[in-house]
Amino acid sequence: MNSLAQKNTRRGRPPKVNHDNHDTRAALIRSGVELLTEHGFFASGIDKILKKIGVPKGSFYHYFSSKEDFGREVIENYASYFAKKLDTHLLNVELDPIQRIGSFVEDAKAGIQKHHYKRGCLVGNLEQEVDVLPDGYRQLLTDIFIDWQHRIEVCLREAQQQQLLSTNANCALLAEFFWVGWEGAVSRARLTQSAQPLENFLNQYLAGLPR
Amino acid sequence: MNSLAQKNTRRGRPPKVNHDNHDTRAALIRSGVELLTEHGFFASGIDKILKKIGVPKGSFYHYFSSKEDFGREVIENYASYFAKKLDTHLLNVELDPIQRIGSFVEDAKAGIQKHHYKRGCLVGNLEQEVDVLPDGYRQLLTDIFIDWQHRIEVCLREAQQQQLLSTNANCALLAEFFWVGWEGAVSRARLTQSAQPLENFLNQYLAGLPR
DNA sequence: ATTTTACTAGACGATCGGTCTATTATGTTC
DNA sequence: GAACATAATAGACCGATCGTCTAGTAAAAT
């Protein structure tokens, strides 16, 4: 009995083969990204996530087994989106490596301003909630920072090769310093509803790099 | 009729004149400081704050008119506690001004380690929640950062006078950069449950200061 | 028509901040 | 000591909201 014959013996509506390409499912994740970026995990109720896109509450647990699983997908979605954004700047050969960092900051700053300082960094938001988040989120968030840090580190090494950064510089530690400060700057920008903390952070960070 | 006579016409137990010196009230604020430092405002339920010190719920609204008012007092209590801690380090004439900053960082690091990376900075926690916090908290938190920034700024100016910092340095912006980065470092230390981000932040910050 | 899956409607218990009434404890004046 | 008034405690209760779940309808195949 071949697979076609097997298929023909099955009666009733066949299960959907690809569970990941539903409009509704994708819309839920997109809505989740937006709300978690604004308010973090706990303050983002499932009702609000659903209401934002007009999906009834009963549907949620058809697409996701729990808020915890949903959050995991939201985080991964954001991380991959953000990694692409980083690449477009940090791998831009039209700019020197130092300028690329400034290019990323300008892009992120524009996004934050566009949303009137209501949206921050999803990973930064959840970082601060981590003690009351589901188990496993901690490692997830840590790995994302490691990934981002590595991308900046590569960029800084390229700056070293182009004599824009001292060869004595520890690029890994400088990259960690960047993200630590950046998350702090985003948080402060949201508090003061001003881009000034972002700009000052970039200026001070670049000025402090060993040349 | 003089005031004494008026007093004598009132019968019964007179109202307490000083509402701020009750043990229970102080204990509630202390409990609030601890919980808000660990979990922020929203995740700190009144029940948990009460349970921590064995005070019944009925007492809460005797001492405070609302969670919002309570939170305001908790914030102010933390801010004054923290300001004192800053002074003990930043005004310590036995160290040079740059060393004083390191002295503060060491102290704070020890505190975070002592609580196993479960407690962060109360102001930093609430900073990130500010969009969903009661009105007025935003200004309250902003003012606290301005105060802290000013204390670091004064310290940096003293460093300039002692030729430890370039006279070209903008001490106000460097002070803002410090707190922005510090809050980011505390958040990261809690995520990774390690003091390394705190140490790296201090090292990079000091290394980046214009000499 | 029947079978199977995709999707939805709304109930459910737990918990939240907040309010309420009742009660006990304490201190002052007559 | 009796009468009085406030301090403080006790915990039931409310409406709202949380994440989750069960029972059902709609749709697509045989």
Is A185 in Cβ contact with B185 (below 8 Å)?
no
Cβ neighbours for B203, distance < 8 A, ≥ 6 positions apart? A173
Provide the number of structural domains found in chain A.
1
Percentages of chain B per state (helix, strand, coil), in multiples of 5: 70, 0, 30
Considering only residues 124 to 153 of chain B, which have any Cβ-Cβ distance to chain A shorter than 8 Å? 124-125, 127-132, 138, 141-142, 145
- Is A116 in CB contact (< 8 Å) with chain B? no
Burial group, residue A11, by CB count within 10 angstroms (0-12, 13-18, 19+): exposed
Is A43 within the bounds of a domain? no
Is strand D less than 7 A from the beta carbon of A10?
yes
Cβ(B18)–Cβ(A107) under 8 Å? no
Residue pair B186/A187 in contact by the 8 Å Cβ criterion: no
Residue B196 domain-assigned (yes or no): yes
What CA–CA distances, in Å, run from A124 to A18, A58, A69, B129?
Answer: 32, 30, 19, 12
> Which residue intervals of A45-66 are DSSP H helices?
46-51, 60-63
Is A185 in Cβ contact with B145 (below 8 Å)?
A: no
Q: What is the gyration radius of the CA atoms in chain B, in angstroms?
A: 21
pLDDT tens digit string along A158-190? 999 999 999 999 999 999 999 999 999 999 999
Select from A75, A142, A204 the least CA-distant residue to B189: A142
Q: Give a yes or no: residue B28 inside a domain.
A: no
Answer whether residue B51 is part of any domain.
no
B164 backbone dihedrals φ, ψ, rounded to 5°:
-95, -10
Assigned domain for B37 exists: no
Residue B22: the pLDDT is 61
CA of A191 to C1' of D17 (A): 26
User: How far is CA B27 from its chain centroid?
Assistant: 17
In a domain, A132, yes or no: yes
Q: pLDDT (tens digit, 0 to 9) for every residue of chain B, 211 residues total?
A: 333 333 344 555 555 544 444 678 888 899 999 999 999 998 888 888 888 888 888 788 888 888 898 999 999 999 999 999 999 999 999 999 999 999 999 999 999 999 999 999 999 999 999 988 888 899 999 999 999 999 999 999 999 999 999 999 999 999 999 999 999 999 999 999 999 999 999 999 999 999 9
Chain B residues touching A190 at Cβ < 8 A: 127-128, 130-131
Query: Which residue range(s) make up the domain with B175?
Result: 66-208
pLDDT averaged over every residue in chain A: 90
For the stretch A17-32, pLDDT in tens is 544 446 888 888 999 9
CATH number for the domain harbouring residue A92:
1.10.357.10
> Does the residue B32 lie in any domain?
no
B201: in domain: yes
Distance CA A208, CA A165 (A): 11
Instruction: Answer yes or no: are the C-beta atoms of A32 and A71 closer than 8 Å.
Output: yes
- A19-23, A60-64, A74-78: which has the highest mean pLDDT? A74-78
State the nearest residue by CA to the C1' of D12.
B58
